[in-house]
Amino acid sequence: MNRAAALTFLLLAVPASALAEDFSVNPQAGNSGFSAVFDAALGERINAVSSSVGCQVSFDEMSGLASGRCSVPLTSIKVDSDETKSGHFHDWATNKKSEPTACAIEAVFSGVKLGTLAPERPAAFTAQIPFTVCGRARADGGQEKLTGTALLFPPGAYGDKKTIRIRATIAGFDRDAYRIGPRYTEGWLAKVQTLAKVK
């Protein structure tokens, strides 16, 4: 089980429509972050991090609602700062059925209530959001409960564009619900069981 997954990113304004403002996060800019701690009865406890969160979000200031898509490329996720462990995690996430470069952890959401945003006043929000891992949704069809804050930076406060900083946490994210792990990956279950016997 994953105790918690945390996301931090800056949404930068792009040319807006008449009804809503469009924001984006450049995954290459280094102003975003993803971190997670994975625990499991079978397998080791791992810390996974990435600084390559990408988002495209539309925010309606009148209603306070946000809709869009955010994703973290699998190959950007590093485990315990170790290349070998990172490779193992990529195997577990893909189940060795697709290329890691084609895989992402992704959330698509609509109508998330951020509320009224103002400078220096973080607005708390909660939402139920569906996630996919390499295109796989939760086995039970459920969604993840996300809690966080949104903070507005007007133009000039953080660059020359209006910016929204989002900090959010998912508690109780269950990796087994997405079939992430050695038991779902060909050849890995026997390997982990053998290592456990050696101990």
Phi, psi of 94 (to 5 degrees): -85, -15
Distance CA 178, CA 185 (A): 12
Q: Using the structure block, give the residue that is written with the tokens 């946000």.
A: 66
Query: What is the pTM assigned to this prediction?
Result: 0.84
Is residue 53 within 8 Å of residue 77, measured between CB atoms? no
- Which has the minimum average pLDDT: 24-33, 52-61, 96-105, 123-132? 24-33
Q: Which residues contact 123 (CB under 8 A, 6 or more apart)?
A: 114, 115, 116, 117, 149, 150, 151
Domains and CATH numbers, the chain: 2-191 (2.40.128)
82-93 pLDDT, tens per residue?
999 999 999 999
User: Are the beta carbons of 129 and 109 closer than 8 angstroms?
Assistant: yes
